[in-house]
Amino acid sequence: MFSLNNFKQLIHWLKASGELTYEAERIETWEEFMTSLPKKKVEKLLVRASMIGHWFEEKSNNVIGTYTPNVNAFIRKNDKKNEVAGASTILYKKSRRISSEYDRC
């Protein structure tokens, strides 16, 4: 799951979306850095980045969530309208403001 190859695929998807090219360019810098590291170190780095992302998502929801209570309902209502095929479907669902597992908490 956490590999340099998957990270490269993410960059390709970001570029292909046409909307996230600036972000892809910034992330490419990290990809260039990680190519110089051993595979295990890359995996540890990506796992840590994911953990920080989940921590940030939870903390920001606690602070901002009270101001945006209807976002999740809006996203669920528009899921079918916005869903796309393949890898972009997975990334779209992963990038939603709050994942379904947080809704159950």
User: Is the Cβ–Cβ distance between 91 and 10 less than 8 Å?
Assistant: yes
The pTM (predicted TM-score) of the whole model is 0.58
89 φ, ψ (degrees, to nearest 5): -65, -45
Share of the chain above pLDDT 90, in %: 29
Residue 82: band (very low, low, confident or very high) from pLDDT cuts 50, 70, 90: low
Residue 32: band (very low, low, confident or very high) from pLDDT cuts 50, 70, 90: very high
Residue 81: band (very low, low, confident or very high) from pLDDT cuts 50, 70, 90: low
Specify the pLDDT at position 33: 94
Report the C-alpha gap between 28 and 95 in whole angstroms.
Answer: 19
Whether 34 has a pLDDT exceeding 90, the answer reads yes
Specify the pLDDT at position 64: 81
Specify the pLDDT at position 51: 92
Whether 90 has a pLDDT exceeding 80, the answer reads no
User: Is the Cβ–Cβ distance between 83 and 90 less than 8 Å?
Assistant: no
Report the C-alpha gap between 14 and 16 in whole angstroms.
Answer: 6
